[in-house]
Amino acid sequence: MAEKDTSIKTTRDVRDRLRVLASERGTTMNDLLAELVARELTEEEKEQRAQQALEEIKQTTGVTVSDSARTRARAFLQSLGQEHHAA
């Protein structure tokens, strides 16, 4: 069964930028949006991937990453993100 179209309200500037980006890539705005949202992970998906990575680390190395180490790593990665956005 085919999906039904719907509408999303946005500003003209966003719409116009989507149109340009889609055109440059030889695609439609709908396909561009689908591609962009497919790249982004939900918080639940991020947590699942983190758990999978921790399990792989444990199976490969025998090391169990502590909650404290995870907290420090998360804080470090967030600080990198903040520095990136400030630049």
**pLDDT tens, residue order, the chain (87 aa):** 567 888 999 999 999 999 999 999 999 999 999 999 999 999 999 999 999 999 999 999 999 999 999 899 889 988 998 776 666
pTM summary value: 0.60
Q: Is 25 a domain residue?
A: no
pLDDT score, position 13 = 98
Round to whole Å and give the CA distance between 20 and 57. 43
Total domain count, the chain: 1
Q: Is 65 a domain residue?
A: yes
Q: Are 31 and 22 in contact (CB under 8 A)?
A: yes
Round to whole Å and give the CA distance between 25 and 22. 5
Per the structure, the complete domain to which residue 61 belongs is given by: 43-86
